[in-house]
Copies of this chain bind each other. A is one copy, B any other.
């Protein structure tokens, strides 16, 4: 099975619950589900949608046209005109048929204008019927469901609209051919706490199946697969889990999309459970999460905590990260171990605050005035988020510098079913204070690898200052000590290169020799791996140079691969091909072909494949740039 479906409705209207229901139903039947959430910067009313993909094996990307489009409001039909194709079933409430475009005021003006033009071009009426006709032209089959009737037939009392989400989900499941029991099971999971709610919703599920059966909508039953325990988590969850496993005990944050979910998750799981065979005294340990007054406070407060010995971190997104620049420079200068999780969203400025972007890489690499060492890493799927967060905390501790962990919004809001979390994959070493002495040299220059023994307030007496300092941490302006301190600090980056395995810095997926070499970072990893399979089917071999650590940059490794590559295509969710620039800076190699997307939406398998083929077919040309445009 390979099922793509999009579920759309008004923000705040329960789309997430519906999509959770669908995911859990398929999961209960042993399937794998992968999904991404798209929403406006708005609390109630504007269009939001979840794009899900269901497969036996684990999906790792999404694809248009979708198989089922579930519209929980008229806007969804207008917004997704382009996303249907041969065989797409469009499920919607029959009532919508009276809606017209002019009254869909929550659609962004320019979007509405575009939809209008599209309909006009096709000489179709500017309303839902026109939109559905267009969809039909594209091969879609509209399925009008009388939502109110079906729900009313099932529930004894209460407002029917309250159950429309459940109905939409259940109809989808029925159409997909998933036996009703799994839909019911998912209801139990989603509304676990409230028995009466469960009962009512199950009635609605049953009614949905009955309606589908009666109207010949129900799909061919799909088989039940062996079910295993799995984690249903997003990139936000992954990072939170990794941090907790990685020893995080202090996190600060100032609310911002899409970063603050991570902190809320940590807050909700702040009372840690320890494994049985560990010291009993650990049994009740907690983590401190502080909502600060701004991001300047977040990045500096976390450092204050770090200086007492707690593993600490903060998480933010573009605008907040900008505010952290000065604090990050301090952490670099003063060798403070701190992990900063940077959730990238569409910029610049407030930009597209709830949309995807990978436009903060160059900024992360260069943020903060003056020269200081930092580590910059990036994750490309939900599982990586977990282990990278752990490693990030380890790096910060070991190398005593700021570590920036980049996660893009797409990944933050990707929900995935992760089969296992391996607590033995990454070691976590205890934070140990140096033995105290009369004149403890916090910034001991007598070190080969640049790492001085750390000190912790409460355990050692020492000083720190953002000014250039001597070994004790007092201000100095001595030119000679200055030079030595600068060199000591940067020496640590060499040590990182010596100690961190290449696998944690860059990976080559696929055959070592290939006709196409993709280069990417972040959440495109999955979709490229899928496209590589598609290309294989077309007898075109492809591999992927996937970059995880940008500072210190794995120049040699990357150089070696790119030098022998035949056709290199850089794929990024930004406009300037930032990773390609970093590669050029570090290796001198210029990547001439790129596929870029900067409209804030997730990259889908179909569009990426098409663009890759375009480039492949025109590979003789010196420079090619494809810009992807999928997404409502």
Contacts and interface: CB of A to CB of B under 8 A. Distances in A.
A470 B110 contact: yes
Contacts of A348: 329-330, 332-333, 368-372
Nearest to A630: B479
A232 interface: no
Interface string A95-127: 000000000000011110010000000000000
B323 A477 contact: no
A467 B349 contact: yes
Contacts of A330: 348-349
A572 to B, nearest CB: 11
B575 A486 contact: yes
A348 B369 CA distance: 6
Nearest to A598: B486
- Most chain B CB within 10 A, of A468, A574, A581, A600, is at A468
B480 A114 contact: yes
B347 A369 contact: yes
B351 A333 contact: yes
Given A348-B333, A600-B477, A467 B370 contact: no
Contact of A575 (B347, B369, B371, B588): B371
Contacts of A334: 349
Contact of A369 (B322, B369, B632): B322
Interface in A375-417: none
Contacts of A423: none
Interface string A574-611: 11100001001100111000000011110000000000
- Most chain B CB within 10 A, of A330, A332, A370, is at A370
Given A114-B480, A476-B110, A574 B349 contact: no
B108 A478 contact: yes
Contact of A350 (B296, B467, B470, B632): B467
Contact of A371 (B347, B365, B479): B347
A108 B477 CA distance: 7
Nearest to A42: B477
Given A41-B475, A352-B467, A477-B600, 10 more contacts: A109-B474, A110-B480, A319-B326, A322-B326, A332-B349, A333-B349, A349-B370, A349-B372, A363-B367, A483-B629
16 contacts: A111-B478, A318-B370, A319-B466, A322-B329, A322-B368, A325-B325, A326-B349, A348-B370, A348-B372, A352-B468, A363-B368, A479-B600, A480-B629, A482-B599, A581-B585, A584-B585
